[in-house]
Amino acid sequence: MSAIKPKRIKVDSLGEPKVSFPKELHPYLSEVGEVNLYVSEEVMDTEDPAHRYFIFEEAGPREKIYFDPSKTKCAIVTCGGLCPGLNDVIRSIVMVAHHQYKVAATIGIRYGLQGFLPEYGHNIWEMNPDNVSQIHEFGGTVLGSSRGHQPPEEIVDALERMNINILFMIGGDGTMKAASAIWNEIKKRRMKIAVVGIPKTIDNDIYFVPRSFGFDTAVSKAIEAIRCAHTEAIGAPNGIGMVKLMGRESGFIAAEATLAQKDVNVVLIPELPFELYGKNGLLEYLKNRILKRGHAVIVVAEGAGQELWRKEMKKNHEKIPVDPSGNPILGDICGLLREKIKTYFQEQDISITLKFIDPSYIIRSVPANANDGVYCAFLGQHAVHAAMAGKTNMVVTKINERFVYLPLSLVTKKRRKLNTDSSYWKGVLASTGQPPVFLNKEIKK
């Protein structure tokens, strides 16, 4: 291990910091501000230590900053779906910018990137400690949000019109890609505007980010739904409880909630395709479970089994719809599963009671719990420290209990997926007792 050389992860800077940090308010980091860390195989999707050893720039205040606080104007925008902790991050940014740096102004952009474009007519919100002090008590985002592509050229035009020096963008994979496009336009025009991202996704699927804010809260709420599904399942002969959880392309919430709440017998995730029929199919396994134990609890990530849904679409000669951002709209896999399960057990002459729970909008709309609240506070703080030091085209995250900076090019490289060969997923399988895959063929070893 000692022979392994770490790879240095660099982030862009607007220029040399020359303004003194207000030392009486906060201690600052040393000039180096670097940390050597091994990244988990779950984050990198590789077991080779040589590819998981990095030197990161440590997050925190610097002795010299780039922007003169008295002349600095910040903007905050939230994009994409709702997530616990959005208001916590907004509050933290505003508080640190005003109390520690005493910036000239911080404005909130309404309803995502739409708020930059005049044709939508969304007003801006001048934010200060007085009007954001209690927003962490509420779910969602006080700024509102939206999806859909907005031209980066027009967004930069708006930044220029409003004399914005720093743009904080809070959102998921699509938002980080938009942030990168905005920065490229800023760079093309040779403007001095910092773009700093705070990764947000309830699915926990941003590459190189071990845990996104809101995930801990989401799992806590998901456990409540699983507990209810288990109660329904054992409350009737041959009872089946089914819970749908968020996770378009990654099954982290479903897996984590399954590990936390031990009542789950089957968990289905997007990373693993499955089949319904045959001796190794899901339905046969479910039948054996019912006959043996008299009940079952199934947890389904929303993006699981989409290949089955697409087959149904092709049968009906229907096109797969997309949302305003161009993402394929997920098929109702739980609806399909409920239909197939009921039909299958009727054909087997086995009477069942099937109860379905979908807590998705409850999970993403609640306020952050204590763990996420603390995490969000630090993310907001470090985002401000980075921006004021002139860091740009980057995000703030936490790796191995250390807050660090990552370039946007890294986190937008691909989506993070659950590693189904990892010890983590093996622990999930051990908890449920289900086989590694539900496929009507021999499993390759």
200 secondary structure, DSSP code: B
- Catalytic residue list contains 323: no
97 secondary structure, DSSP code: I
CA angle 412, 328, 79 (to 5 degrees): 50
Instruction: Kindly state the tokens that stand for 434.
Output: 């289900």
In terms of Cα–Cα distance, which of 107, 82, 97, 248 is closest to 170? 82
Residues 79/170, Cβ–Cβ less than 8 Å:
yes
Determine the Cα–Cα distance for residues 276 and 40; give it in Å rounded to an integer.
34
Alpha helices in 128-214, H assignment, sequence order? 129-132, 152-161, 173-188
190 secondary structure, DSSP code: T
Residue with tokens 């959880």, as numbered in its chain: 245
* Burial tier of 336 (Cβ tally within 10 Å: 0-12, 13-18, 19+): middle
Residues 398/210, Cβ–Cβ less than 8 Å:
yes
Determine the Cα–Cα distance for residues 278 and 148; give it in Å rounded to an integer.
42
- Helix or strand (DSSP H, E) at 291: helix 282-293
Determine the Cα–Cα distance for residues 392 and 400; give it in Å rounded to an integer.
23
In terms of Cα–Cα distance, which of 265, 222, 226, 273 is closest to 249? 273
Q: Which of 12, 68, 130, 203 is catalytic?
A: 203
For the stretch 243-267, what's the b/e string if a residue is b when 16 or more beta carbons lie within 10 angstroms of its beta carbon?
Answer: bbbbbbbbbbbbbbbbbebebbbbb
Determine the Cα–Cα distance for residues 18 and 427; give it in Å rounded to an integer.
51
Residue 394's beta-bridge partner residues? 196, 407
Residues 150/185, Cβ–Cβ less than 8 Å:
no
User: Which backbone phi and psi does 264 adopt, to 5 degrees?
Assistant: -80, 135
In terms of Cα–Cα distance, which of 81, 214, 203, 139 is closest to 365? 139
Catalytic residue numbers, as ranges: 203
